[in-house]
Amino acid sequence: MKFCSQCGASVTLRVPAGDNLPRHVCDACETIHYLNPKVVAGCILEWQDRVLLCRRAIEPRYGLWTLPAGFMENGESALAAAAREALEEAHAESENLRLYGVYSLLHVSQVYLMFQGRLKDGYARPGEESLEVRLCAETEIPWDQIAFTVVHETLRQYFAERRTGQFHHHLGDIIREADQRFRIHRHY
């Protein structure tokens, strides 16, 4: 952020009075511009012993596999956002969505809300942002071609629990270390 979105003047990064973190503050109108994490809503959609994966037709991670997920919009509910992403990326209708995992991605300031639900009628086909969609059993998951650590972690937890027949909620943080590797802090 270089300019004030309210008046167009330049902004300075400084700690406003009564605050304890630097913010972008307008040099002219003094508006304080806060930058906050964005919410990504996504879902594991189940059909028999399979889950729906999409192969990305967009950057980043073009060509790699992911769960339907994307940025939540203003005025939308988290559940509606997850369902919309499945529709947009895979023409997939979802049923019985429940929140499964919440992951904070500190390096990109994103919060993933990952739902679990049923793929209605077992039907899916690629949306504009997908090259291909696939219903994968656990043995068919392309583990070394998953687009994002958070998706890998969600699928890993899901299949580990699926074998036990008991699903639990998960809360985790994903942290990028200095060597660029990701560390996963699993709170539960």
Q: Which helix H or strand E contains 98, and what residues bound it?
A: strand 94-105
- Out of 83, 113, 124, 147, which residue is the one contacting a second copy (CB under 8 A)? 113
The string of DSSP letters for 13-75 reads EE--TT-SS-EEEETTT--EE---PEEEEEEEEEETTEEEEEEESSSSSTT-EE-SEEEPPTT
- Residue 150 corresponds to which tokens in the numbers above? 């958070």
Cα 127 → chain centroid: 18
Interface stretch with a second copy, choices 9-17, 47-55, 116-124, 133-141 (CB under 8 A): 9-17
- Out of 17, 48, 74, 163, which residue is the one contacting a second copy (CB under 8 A)? 74
Question: Rounded to an integer, what distance in angstroms lies between the CA atom of residue 30 and that of residue 8?
Answer: 12
Beta bridge partners of 116: 44, 98
Interface stretch with a second copy, choices 72-80, 133-141, 146-154, 156-164 (CB under 8 A): 72-80
Is there binding between residue 6 and a second copy (CB under 8 A)? yes
Interface stretch with a second copy, choices 70-78, 131-139, 145-153, 154-162 (CB under 8 A): 70-78
Binding residues for a second copy restricted to 11-40, rule: CB under 8 A: 11, 18, 21, 33-39
Residues in binding contact with a second copy, number by CB under 8 A: 45
User: Which residues contact residue 79 at a Cβ distance below 8 angstroms, ignoring those fewer than 6 apart?
Assistant: 41, 97, 115
Residues near a second copy, by CB under 8 A? 1-11, 18, 21, 33-39, 71-79, 98-99, 102, 104, 106-107, 109, 111, 113, 128, 169, 171, 173, 185, 187-188
